[in-house]
Structure 1
Amino acid sequence: MRALAEFIMRGRMQATLVVVGSAALPLLFWLSAAAGCLVLLRRGLSDALSILVWALLPALGWWYFGDPRTLLVLLGSLGLALLLRAGQSWTRVLLCSVAVGLVYGLVLGSVFREPIAALVAELQKLMPQALGGLHQQLSVDEQTRLNALLAPVLTGLLAALLQVVSLLCLILGRYWQAALYNPGGFGREFRALRLPPALALLLLAGMLLGPNLGAQAAMLTPLCSVPLAFAGLALIHGLVADGRLARFWLVGLYVTLLLFMQLIYPLLVVFAIVDSLIDFRGRLARKNGAGPANGEG
């Protein structure tokens, strides 16, 4: 991957080839967004525009054929990269990713209205079997409200997936930038990520109270969980780097996350919330007598 990053930064023509070519190829839109983030983070918006504007052509072409993902991820990740280049913290970037996810949800809800409606209809048929006797205990109004939440929640899940992809593209671009110009810098930056208690509780409130604010606000539940999940990953990476956990746990985390995402993902969210309140890494550093800079200046 470092060789690819070196090729991208070799010149304008090479960067354009990767950014535009990846956007034009199926299932490689993430590489286009990551390469665009690298160029933007290193060279700034004015120099990157002459490259990124060409990537809009294949992205708009994919939208014309009914697939908005390329354009959404490209613009979303570049917008977050602008914040990061402007000196905003990863905490602010993660919070802004929720707003990006809301935009994704509105667009996906419009473009994929019919497929989502068809999927909701199938889920409504399976709901009595899935819930068993619990579904029969619900009143008519409660069943109606439950059915009304299906479409927004599904749309929110799709938007949250693109939100995750956008953040991963930004992370890959930042990793490339550090590998080329500041080795080890991204690792220290990511491992230091910890959400303030007020922000973590705000995101938790968005997850739990979103469906009570209206059917469309149910999209907030998956969208607000994404920053917490990334903060949970940063916590595990930080504990491994400090020697509190063996590297085996980090490998096991990603393997189980791929195989049992429905179980591990909520645990990451819980870890992030608890860490925001307790600050595991800070407590361990103070217990060991480390200074506030933790030896990193």
Structure 2
Amino acid sequence: MLALANYSMKGPMQAIIAVVLLSLLSVWVAPVGILAGAIIALITLRINAGEGAKSLLWAVAVQIGANLMISGSYWPAVIAVMEYLLPVYVMAVVLRETNSLAQALQSGMLMIGAGLIAFHLMVGDTTNWWLTLFDQQLKPILDSSGVDFDAELIPGLAKSVTMLLSAFALVLWYSILLLGRWYQSVLYYPGQFQLDFHQLTLPQNTVYAAAAIAVAGLFFGQDVRLLYDLSGIAIAVLMFQGISVAHCLVKQKDASSAWLVGLYILLFLLPQMMLILATVGLLDNWIKFRGREEMQ
């Protein structure tokens, strides 16, 4: 993939070719969209926002055209654009202008927060909206396929779908952006990505707001669904600072990278690890786990 990233930097045409191929392939293999988004981020960061926008438009055109030919619907393309491409481009522009991973993360948080508020205003009761969608779209498919499921669990899951999707979107967008930044570092500034990520520190006002929303969501989220959904974003934002702390400490202590592998395995298996890492990220603003010299 580094070879593809390097190829995309050889000129405007090569960049467009790389994005078009990845975007087209992602229509059949969705995770490839991650690489398309990362290349768009790389183009934006390395060249300029205009060239990044051109590559984004080509990716969008390919997505729409391919999906219309295959399924006759453009909605899968809209989902792909919002999942891998457009938000990553916006965050890449912010990163290019500010040279701050924290500011880019904050921009992602604001985008999803605005989207959540709009979603709640449009549908009202989000739990009922998801239940209706399940009954009309998914349940007939499951019934016709003979898939056995516990119907009593569905209402409980419907309460958490919006929050989980929002947190997942932020994690996905920012991870794609970090991949693009890593490409840039490996190709042009070896070692710089590690230094930048180890110094990831959110602005104090963002930390206070995220902490307040996360705590309020945990205690009052059952009664105020929007607050509950926003708390997932707040926890995800603080989690990234916690992950930065973990990476930095492993480097400072010259510890084995197996510690980080174990951390990511636990994060994948135990959702509670998000809250633990978010707490570490929050406390880092006062305890300074990484030390003063590392942050300078």
Q: Is 1:64 aligned to residue 68 of structure 2?
A: no
Whole-angstrom CA distance in 1 between matches of 2:118 and 2:12? 32
Change (3 A) 1:82 1:277: same
Deviates more, 1:48-57 or 1:196-205: 196-205
Q: Is 1:116 aligned to residue 123 of structure 2?
A: no
Identity of aligned residues (%): 28
Q: Which one of 258, 264, 275 corresponds to residue 266 of structure 1? A: 275
Deviates more, 1:271-280 or 1:211-220: 211-220
Change (3 A) 1:244 1:281: farther
Whole-angstrom CA distance in 2 between matches of 1:279 and 1:49? 38
Match of 2:233 in 1: 223
Match of 1:126 in 2: 153
Deviates more, 1:74-83 or 1:90-99: 90-99
Structure 1: gaps spanning 5 or more residues: 128-146
Match of 1:138 in 2: none
Change (3 A) 1:113 1:199: closer
**TM-score normalised by structure 1 residue count:** 0.77
RMSD: 3.2
Contact 1:20 1:54 survives alignment (8 Å)? yes
Q: Is 1:34 aligned to residue 38 of structure 2?
A: yes
Match of 1:136 in 2: none
Q: Which one of 241, 249, 252 corresponds to residue 242 of structure 1? A: 252
Structure 2: gaps spanning 5 or more residues: 68-72, 136-148
Cα deviation for residue 93 of structure 1 reads: 1.8
Q: Which one of 99, 117, 123 corresponds to residue 110 of structure 2? A: 99
What is the number of equivalent residue pairs in this alignment? 266
Whole-angstrom CA distance in 1 between matches of 2:280 and 2:190? 28
Cα deviation for residue 17 of structure 1 reads: 2.1
Q: Is 1:185 aligned to residue 199 of structure 2?
A: no
C-alpha deviations, 1:96-122, integer Å up to 9, x for none? 211222355468787999982257889
Change (3 A) 1:102 1:23: farther
Change (3 A) 1:5 1:204: same
Match of 1:282 in 2: 291
Deviates more, 1:167-176 or 1:111-120: 111-120
Contact 1:37 1:174 survives alignment (8 Å)? yes
SS at match of 1:195: coil
Change (3 A) 1:19 1:107: farther
Whole-angstrom CA distance in 2 between matches of 1:67 and 1:214? 32
Cα deviation for residue 209 of structure 1 reads: 1.9
Contact 2:64 2:77 survives alignment (8 Å)? no
Deviates more, 1:210-219 or 1:64-73: 210-219
Whole-angstrom CA distance in 2 between matches of 1:244 and 1:88? 27
Match of 2:13 in 1: 13
1:172-211 equivalences in 2 (<5 Å): 172-210=179-217, 211=221
Whole-angstrom CA distance in 1 between matches of 2:277 and 2:46? 31
Q: Is 1:158 aligned to residue 185 of structure 2?
A: no
Deviates more, 1:234-243 or 1:43-52: 43-52
**TM-score normalised by structure 2 residue count:** 0.78
The code of the aligned residue for 1:31 comes to L
The code of the aligned residue for 2:85 comes to L
Whole-angstrom CA distance in 1 between matches of 2:216 and 2:127? 25
Change (3 A) 1:108 1:32: farther
Whole-angstrom CA distance in 1 between matches of 2:289 and 2:102? 17
Match of 2:138 in 1: none
